Amino acid sequence: MNAQLKEWLRQNFVASPVRRFGWASLLLLIALAVAPTKDFFNEWRHYQRQYRKFISTRPDSLILQHHFTSGIQQIWLPQLAVVDRCTTCHVAVTEKNLQDPASVPEPFRGHPPVAHNVKDWGCVICHRGQGPATELAEAHNATRAWEEPILPARYLESSCGQCHRAPLTGTPQLNQGRNLLGRYGCVHCHTIKLSDGSRVKPTDDPPSLSHIADKTTREWIYAWLKNPYAYAVTTTMPDFKLTDADARDISAFLIANSTPVARDTEGARNPPAEPTAGASLYGESFCASCHAVQNAAGNVVGGDVGPELTRIGNKAKPEWLRAWLRNPRVYNPETAMPHYRFTEPQVSLLTAYLGNKSDSDLLANVRLDAATPEQVAHGKLLVTTYGCAACHEISGIGKPDNFAPELTRVGSKPLTEIVFLPGMKRSTPDYIATKIRQPRSFGAGLKMPQYTLAPAQIDALTTALLAFTEGAHDLPMALTIPAKALANYQPAGNAGELMADLACFSCHAINGRGGDMAPDLSSEGTAVQRPWLEAFLKNPGTLRPALIRRMPKFNLSKSEIAELTDYMMTVYQTPAFDRDSLSSTSFPPAQVEQGRQLFYSKYACQSCHIIDTKADKGYIGPTLTQVGSRLNAAWIYHWLKDPQSLQPGTIEPNRNMNDEDARALTAFLMTQKGSSNQGRKK
């Protein structure tokens, strides 16, 4: 049988040279045809054929047909090192008619509207993945040669953050994540460098521990270290999962290491006040604008500038609290807390009220024996090991540099460098999210502490971290949109010292520096009249009824008020126009009446403002009952013409008002002096 077959093969294929040539040619032809055939059955050709079939059934097929180009499509952006062939299969990304997800299947759907045109930016800048690939799996997934798969929609905003360093309206998640990076102090330990060489800066202000024995007890430190969350649910202090012995030793070291702050003991003799009597003073002083308290229902009410005060009585020693309320700058010159100038009875009232805010269970089971020198030494070792000084100032221990891994390029960390947990999805976003959620689960002996974060906060942090990619770091400076540089504006002289003492910048911004809780004061001197400002500083009234955060009363002396008013009226003026360019008095009655008509009919200002407290109910803008003794005529006029130019971002709409209307309205508003004229009182 075998012999017969061999003979048959020999005769047919090998015997004659012609046959040999013929068969060889045929083999060659087949071999040559392999490549074009493979090409013909390519995935992308399949999608393009399907697309043609899909659009042929639609009424707008002619236009779509006209827009369609067959073959491999490419978007090439040499500056950004982008080569995108995604549009080879996603043929219709720019088609407006094909955006409806209900009727158009992928990959033929048009891209929904975004800030950038797909044609100019390509796809991988935002979505990541392998741009030059022309096969589905290679383009979308991680391969051996390409470790950056498509970014899940969950973290998509991180891509915006690669170029945009400033917060964007359209990326709330990224903005939140960046805030958290600063607020939770991640960057105290982890260095993140930006492409311009600067570093991401923390925005929290961890307290100095150099004088902690003045402030609190060793028992409280122990309980706090064991579980910060039990003391304050809003705390940004993480849980280091310390053993009882370690917490005991650290508390021993911190107390032993603390040095007292020189302070007066005046007022300590004052009799303690009734705890409940301070409640109204606490409310009047608007402590809740900055400090939160957890109420009986478990809701946290109040601001987040200062620490939560729910159980402050467990923490602060009464004599420290008293001194702090008298003048916080003695203990901490840099504090965001204003120096309130409380009277001694007021200090007693507040001390008693705050001291009563405590939880009897918190320290009930803490029994610490006197510390031994070994414990103190061991505590010092632990404080160094856990890098406490990366956040807190501790005398005798320097701030460690590069305490934790640098995160400058964490967004494009190669998968091969990551140790994944068993059962975990092998992707960079999942690794980052898990690392934030359970830092210690990646192995024994890890030092990163456990944070208490909501799932959405973990996603936001992951999004912010994913923006720190190789590409973002190497991006040419001309292509980045930098965040607004933080101004280091300092007011001068006595007034400057007074403003630092009152911590005006904790709430107000001036010339680019300061908080956003209260109005920007950069042009306050142009806007307001001097008597009003004096009266307001003496006893701040309510301007905007809808706001829950208010200006507190600081008990300023006459000379202090004069100092502040002089400075603000002289220095804080807009360069755009002169404060006195319009007369603030003597308006013809006809013009005033015309202004009234315009106010109530054409411009319907009463939807947001109140002039007549009986008839008007508008609750959005400031009450205008005495605007004529508060603002200058020139300010009102220019504000009406273009509010955004005087205060960028204000929600008062620009009405494109003509001169005549603006003048009439100014006249009408300037005659609103109010029934109780604050400015002229006393």
Partner 1 sequence: MTRRWRTLLAVSLIFLSAACTRKPGTASALKPTAFGAALVESSGGKQTGAIGTLLPQPLVVQVNDEQGAAVTGALVDFNGQASVTFDPPSALTDASGQVTTNVALGSVAGRYQLTVRTSTRAQKLVELNIEEIALGYQEQLGFQLDNKYCASCHDPESTPERVSNYDNLEVKPHPFTEGGTFNQISDDDLTAIISHGGPAINKSALMPPYGYTLNKTEIESLISYIRLVSDPPYHAPGTVYTRK
Residues that bind partner 1 (CB under 8 A): 57-60, 100-105, 112-115, 152-157, 169-170, 172-173, 301, 423, 455-456, 459, 545-546, 548, 601-604, 606-608, 617-620, 644, 651, 653-656
Q: Which is nearer to partner 1, 133 or 608 (CB)?
A: 608
CA end-to-end distance (rounded Å), the chain: 129
User: How far is Cα 365 from Cα 667, in angstroms, rounded to an integer?
Assistant: 69
Look-up of token digits 């659009």:
55
Q: How far is the CB of 673 from partner 1 (least distance, A)?
A: 24
Of 639, 633, 629, 511, the residue nearest 571 (C-alpha): 511
Q: How far is the CB of 44 from partner 1 (least distance, A)?
A: 22
Find the shortest distance in angstroms from Cβ 104 to partner 1. Answer: 8
Q: Are 551 and 539 in contact (CB under 8 A)?
A: no
- The CB-of-182 to partner 1 minimum distance in angstroms stands at 21
Output the smallest distance, CB 544 to partner 1, in A. 10
CB 133 within 8 A of CB 85: yes
* C-alpha angle 488-490-491 in degrees, rounded to nearest 5: 155
Of how many residues is the chain composed? Answer: 682
- The CA distance from 645 to 649, in Å, is 9
Query: Scanning the structure block, which residue is given the tokens 């308006």?
Result: 587
Q: How far is the CB of 332 from partner 1 (least distance, A)?
A: 29
318 exposure class (CB count in 10 Å sphere: 0-12, 13-18, 19+): middle
Chain position carrying tokens 């004052």: 270
Nearest to partner 1 of 169, 265 (CB atom):
169
Q: With respect to partner 1, which residue has the nearer C-beta, 26 or 548? A: 548
Which CA distances in Å does 534 have to 497, 564, 674?
18, 9, 17
Our CB check for partner 1 shows the closer of 618 and 674 to be 618
Residue type, 559: S
Distances, alpha carbon 286 to alpha carbons 280, 347, 670, in Å = 10, 15, 31
Q: What is the chain's Cα-based Rg? A: 35
Q: Please, what is the minimum distance in Å from the beta carbon of residue 654 to partner 1? A: 4
Give the up-direction half-sphere exposure of residue 510: CA atoms within 13 A in the CB hemisphere.
Answer: 22
Which residue's CB is nearer to partner 1, number 57 or number 79? Answer: 57
CB of 620 to partner 1, least distance (A): 5
Pairs from 267-272 (Cβ < 8 Å, separation ≥ 24): 267/322, 267/326, 267/344, 267/347, 267/348, 268/319, 268/322, 270/344, 270/345, 270/347, 270/348, 271/348, 272/318, 272/348, 272/351, 272/352
Nearer to partner 1, 380 or 638 (CB): 638
The token duo for 412 is: 């494009």
Decide whether 541 or 653 has the Cβ nearer to partner 1: 653
Minimum separation from the CB atom of position 173 to partner 1 (A): 6
10 Å CB burial of residue 632 (0-12, 13-18, 19+) is buried
Among 114, 108, 107, 76, smallest CA distance to 95 is for 108
In the complex with partner 1, the residue whose CB is nearer, 69 or 295, is 295
Residue 472 Cβ vs partner 1, minimum distance, rounded to whole Å: 20
Q: In the numeric block, which tokens belong to residue 618?
A: 């508008």
The nearer residue to partner 1, 398 or 422, going by C-beta atoms, is: 422
Instruction: Pick between residue 496 and residue 643 the one whose CB is nearest to partner 1.
Output: 643
Q: Is the Cβ of residue 173 or residue 346 nearer to partner 1 in the bound state?
A: 173
Considering the complex, what minimum distance in angstroms separates the CB of residue 457 from partner 1? 10
